[in-house]
Amino acid sequence: SRSIKIAPSILSADFADFGAEIRAIEAQGADWVHVDVMDGHFVPNLTFGPPAVKAFRPHVKTVMDVHLMIAPVDPYIDAFAEAGADILTAHVEAGPHIHRTLQAIRGAGMKAGVALNPGTPAEAVAHLLDLTDLICVMTVNPGFGGQKFIDMTAKISALRAMIGDRPVHIEIDGGVTPETAPLVAAAGADVLVAGSAVFKGGSVADPAPYGANIAAI
């Protein structure tokens, strides 16, 4: 059976206390820390950039999984490498040269991820399977936490078949809850991002709900 990793998204964390929130979710069982970078252009929201990611780095003891919802990507790859991203994920929809972008991410010493919006077919990554370490399947339209899950199980199954025995993670991002997690795990996902489902009911002062929420997914 495939072991499932949980990657809480700090988009749902207290924006005034990221260091403490990162330490709290890792102490409560997070496998990775999912960092949502948004530019207000590729998505209708604006979060933070390389300086913030660099500040998060010393607090992350697991894996810093950086999700770029930005366009263009290439001019910022070196800055995110310097900031300490372990995985850097670019959207296939962010520009015309995703093949070159993934080469550049690996060239900068990071693991490379490619993300697919709900409307983008699995075939969009058919020629990238040896250039990527992670395929991020969006199960919401990107930009915000707390949105309703969009069923992408057919796409997930298709991707798992395309991947074959390559060491490529399938990460699910958006609307993951204890109700939706089994669906996507059965379809072939092995990393589940969860923001609102992890942070709900807890705080830096009372992080125990974070652990219960992670365990429930």
Which positions are catalytic? 36, 173
Question: Mind giving me the DSSP string for the chain?
Answer: -PPPEEEEBGGGS-TT-HHHHHHHHHHTT-SSEEEEEEBSSSSS-B---HHHHHHHGGG-SS-EEEEEE-S--GGGHHHHHHHT-SEEEEEGGG-S-HHHHHHHHHHTTSEEEEEE-TTS-GGGGTT-TTT-SEEEEESS-SS-SSPPP---HHHHHHHHHHHTTS--EEEEESS--TTTHHHHHHHT--EEEESHHHHTT--SSS-HHHHHHHHH-
Is 196 among the residues that bind ligand DX5 (CB under 6 A)? yes
- Both tokens assigned to 66: 């950086």
Closest residue by beta carbon to ligand DX5: 195
Is 213 among the residues that bind ligand DX5 (CB under 6 A)? no
- The least CB distance from residue 130 to ligand DX5, in Å, is 25
34 is in an annotated binding site: yes
- The least CB distance from residue 131 to Zn ion, in Å, is 20
Q: Which of residues 38-97 bind ligand DX5 (CB under 6 A)?
A: 67, 69
Is 39 among the residues that bind Zn ion (CB under 5 A)? no
Is 202 among the residues that bind ligand DX5 (CB under 6 A)? no
State which of residues 10, 13, 67, 169 lies at the interface with Zn ion (CB under 5 A). 67
Is 169 among the residues that bind ligand DX5 (CB under 6 A)? no
Which chain residues interact with ligand DX5 by CB under 6 A? 9, 11-12, 34, 36, 67, 69, 140, 142-143, 145-147, 173-176, 193-197
Give the residue numbers of the binding site for substrate: 9, 67, 143-146, 173-175, 195-196
Q: Which residues bind Zn ion (CB under 5 A)?
A: 36, 67, 173
